[in-house]
Structure 1
C-alpha cells in the first residue's frame, strides 16, 4: 500500500514527538517556597538526559528582576564546575550535589534574608536539548523585640490601655493578650485589638491588677512580652498641688532673704572701703618742732624789737642791732634740732613802764591749784 503525502507528514510528526520525549527533561517539583530569615532552604531543579543530548552541559540560576527594564541577576553557573557569581547571595549559595551533571541542578541558600525573596529561574542546556523553570521564594522574619507598656493612669475608676508592638517581624502580625497571675482571666471591661496590639480597660479596679502577657505572631513564629498592671486608689491631686505651691513660695522667700543679706553685706564692704580711702582735707597737718621753735623765736624777737624800738635811738640803737644780729646769726648757723629755746632778757619794772607796758595783776595759785 502506497503512502500518501498526508500519511508521510503524520509519520514524521510522530517520530519527531518521540524524539522530543526522549530528550532533556526537567522533573516536576514545588513552585513556591517559604523560608525563615536566618535559616537555609533548597530550591529543586532535577533533570533527565537522552542519548541524543551530546552537547556540553550548562546550568544557570537567575534571580528574575521585577523590573522589565533591568536585567536578571546571575546567582550561580555550572560549566564543568560550579561558578558562584557576585551579588547579594555571594558566599551563601551552592549546588546541592557535588556532581550536577548526574541530573541534580538544585541549589541551597543559607542564612536567608528577607531581601532574598523573589522569583528564581533554573535553566539546563545540553544540546540539542534546553529546558528551564521558575520557582518563587518568600523569606519571612519571625516577630522579635516585642515590647509591652501601660498607657494611662493606673488608678481606680480610670480608663487605660495596655499596648504591645513587635519591632521586627514580617506582616501580617497578630496580637493576643493573656493574664498570667491572679484570676488569670482578662477583665470583664477589656477589649483587645488583634491587629493593633492594644488591650483597652474601662473603669479599672484593683482586681484588674496583675501580670499580663502579650503574644505577637505571624506565619513563621511567635514572640512575647510581659507587663505588670498595678491599680491603686486615686491620689490626692489637690493636696499635691497645694504642697507644690507652698514649697515654691517658701523657696522664693528663702532665696529673697539670702539675696537681701548678700546685697547688704556687699554695701557694707563697699562703704568701709570708701571710708578707708577717704582723704580728710579739713584737718591741717601737725607742725614740726623746728617750725614751732622758729615761730616762737621770731615772735619774741619781733616783740622785743618793737619794744626796744620805742626807746630812744641814742640809747638802744646799738644794743638792739647787735642783739638782733647775734640771734639771727646763731639761728641760721645752727641746725633746727640744736636751736635752744630763746629766753628774752629781763627788763626792770621802771623800764617797762617807760616802754609803755601796762601792768597786769596775775592771781596767785596754791599748790593744789586753787586761786589765792
Structure 2
C-alpha cells in the first residue's frame, strides 16, 4: 500500500516536471516602452521548447486593435522556417526579426524609424504544438519637442506688464516649459510669473533692469529643445509732446486749408468782376469808327504846330484865312461827304487891327478831311 502511493506520487511529479519543461516565454523585460520618434526599438520575446513540443514552429507578431470591433493587424510572421515581413503596409521595410533563425528561441523583432502612428499594444505569440504562449508589450512613440519660438507679446515699455511666450508646434504631451535669464545676474525678475504648461512668463511692472537675454526650454520624456530671446525695455514715450505735436499739425493743416479757400474765393470774385466790367464796356461804349484817321490828324497837327514857329508875319496872314489849326474834327464831320464841307471861316480881325491891339497875327492852316494841311 505504501509502495503503491509512493509510485503514484513519483508518476505525478514526473508529469508535472514534463509540463514545466514545455514551451515557455522567458523574457523578463518591461512590458511598457516609451521611445522617441525616429529611433529604433527592440521588442523582446525569448522562448524555450519542451521535448513534447514537436509540432511546426509558428511565430506571429500583431498590433492589437484598440477597439474590439476592429481586427488585429499582423505585423510580421515566421512559419515553415521562413519569415514574412510584408503583412502590415504601415511598417513595411521597418520591421525585422532580431535573429536570422528565430527557431533557436529568439522571437524578438526590431522596429526602426519609429513614428507616432506606431504607438500601440504589440503581441508576440509562439506556437509549437501542443504548446502555445504569448506576451504583450505597450509601445508609446513620443515626438520630441520641435524648436520653440520665443517672442515678447505687447509693448516692451517701462512700467508695463510684458509677456514672454515660448511655443513648440510639435511634441508629445505633456510638454514642460522653463525660463531662465542668461545675462547679468542670471536671476529672473522678482515679479516674474511662469506658466510651465502654457510656456508664458509675465513680467509685471517692467523696468530697465529687466532687459537682457532669456532662454526657454521645452521638454518631454524623450527630448528637449530651446530658444533664446533678447528683451529690451524702453522708456515710456513723451505723451505730452506727442499730443502737442498733433495739435500743432492739425492747426497748421487748418490754416493752410483756410488760405487755399480764401485764395480760391478771391480769384473767383475777381474773375466775376472782370466779366461784369467786360459786359458793361461792350454795351455802353461802342468803339470809334476810325482811329487811324484821328491818330493821323493829331500827328499832322503836331507837325504843323512845329512848323508855325518858322513862319514870317507875311505868311501868317494867309494862314489866318483858313480854319483853325487846333480844332479836332468831330465824328459828324468825318461822316459828311466832301461836297458838304463848310467853307473856311475867315479871321474876324485883320492883321493891322491885331497889331494895333498889340497882338501878333497868326495864320491857322486849313485841314482837309483826313487832317492834313491844305
**TM-score, L = length of structure 2:** 0.65
Q: 1:89 to 1:254 in 2, by over 3 A?
A: farther
- Secondary structure of the equivalent of 1:16? helix
> What residue in structure 2 maps to residue 192 of structure 1?
194
- TM-fit CA distance, 1:231: 1.1
Q: 1:208 aligns with which of 188, 207, 210?
A: 210
- TM-fit CA distance, 1:18: 2.4
- TM-fit CA distance, 1:225: 0.9
Stretches of structure 1 that go unaligned for 5 or more consecutive residues are: 269-359
Residues 222-273 of structure 1, C-alpha deviation per residue, up to 9 Å, x if partnerless?
1111111111211023433554566577679879969x98xx9xxx9xxxxx
- TM-fit CA distance, 1:143: 1.4
2:88 equivalent to 1:58: no
> What residue in structure 2 maps to residue 93 of structure 1?
95
Residues 69-107 of structure 1, C-alpha deviation per residue, up to 9 Å, x if partnerless?
111111111112111213321221111111111111101
1:223-238 aligned within 5 A = 223-238=225-240
> What residue in structure 2 maps to residue 78 of structure 1?
78
Stretches of structure 2 that go unaligned for 5 or more consecutive residues are: 272-338, 345-364
Q: 1:237 to 1:57 in 2, by over 3 A?
A: same
The whole-number CA distance in structure 2 between the counterparts of 1:202 and 1:49 is 70
- TM-fit CA distance, 1:43: 0.2
2:25 equivalent to 1:26: yes
> What residue in structure 1 maps to residue 112 of structure 2?
110
CA contact (8 A) 2:27 2:47 kept: no
1:204-353 aligned within 5 A = 204-244=206-246
Q: 1:3 to 1:229 in 2, by over 3 A?
A: same
The whole-number CA distance in structure 2 between the counterparts of 1:65 and 1:99 is 28
- Secondary structure of the equivalent of 2:16? helix
The whole-number CA distance in structure 2 between the counterparts of 1:24 and 1:187 is 65
The whole-number CA distance in structure 2 between the counterparts of 1:172 and 1:254 is 64
RMSD: 3.3
> What residue in structure 2 maps to residue 282 of structure 1?
none
> What residue in structure 2 maps to residue 294 of structure 1?
none
> What residue in structure 2 maps to residue 288 of structure 1?
none
The whole-number CA distance in structure 2 between the counterparts of 1:202 and 1:59 is 63
> What residue in structure 2 maps to residue 165 of structure 1?
167
The whole-number CA distance in structure 2 between the counterparts of 1:362 and 1:231 is 108
**TM-score, L = length of structure 1:** 0.65
CA contact (8 A) 2:153 2:162 kept: yes
Residues 137-195 of structure 1, C-alpha deviation per residue, up to 9 Å, x if partnerless?
11111111211111232222222111212211111111111111122211122222222
